[in-house]
Amino acid sequence: MKQLEYVPQRPGCKDCEIASLATVTGTSYEEVAAVLGITIDPTTNLPDLSEYPAGIDLLDVVYPLFRLGWSAAVIVTEEGFRKAEIGRFGPSNDQLKADLSGRLATIGYVDSDPVVGNHSLAWDGSIAIDCSTGERLSLDNIEIHSAVILTRL
């Protein structure tokens, strides 16, 4: 699988899902923000995330991604449901990790740094990319809570 070029997050924003989706789909940050209905301030170049103070809701990305030519499957793990205190069932973190091999996705987890908290990574099928730094990460020490698995239509 081709190594992805990461699209950086904007400073001081909870925009990791925008940057991760742009990275995985090979689309510009601005195009992903636009299809999600998020405006970008022309002066600061920052997205208006007032509707998403805690970050982008994953269920809000499915149809916009379809409009960009991608099918998106949102999966929440047992650990993710437990953290959200929702009585539903999903695959375990380990099961989902095994199933992600060779697939494009964004991965949601809780970062150990409380300032970061809920965070999203781009996944190229074999390695995670943190769009806040460009760092490439193994999933070994990451407990996945959710994923948006992407397939080009």
Q: What is the pTM of this model?
A: 0.94
Summarize pLDDT for 40-52 with one digit per residue, the tens. Answer: 999 999 999 999 8
Alpha carbon separation from 102 to 28, 112, 128 (Å, rounded) = 23, 26, 12
| Percentage of the residues of the chain whose pLDDT score is greater than 90 | 82
Written out in words, the top-level CATH class of the domain with range 16-152 is: alpha beta
Summarize pLDDT for 11-65 with one digit per residue, the tens. Answer: 988 999 999 999 999 999 999 999 999 999 999 999 999 998 877 889 999 999 9
Return d(Cα 77, Cα 48) in angstroms, integer.
Answer: 29
Q: Enumerate the domain spans of the chain.
A: 16-152
Confidence of residue 2 (pLDDT cuts 50, 70, 90): low
Radius of gyration of the chain (CA): 14
Return d(Cα 20, Cα 6) in angstroms, integer.
Answer: 8
Amino acid found at 9: Q
Buried b / exposed e across 77-103, counting CB within 10 Å, b at 16+?
bbbbbebeeeeeebbebeebbeebeeb
pLDDT in the model for residue 105: 98
Summarize pLDDT for 107-126 with one digit per residue, the tens. Answer: 999 998 888 889 999 999 99
- The answer to whether residue 134 scores a pLDDT higher than 80 is yes
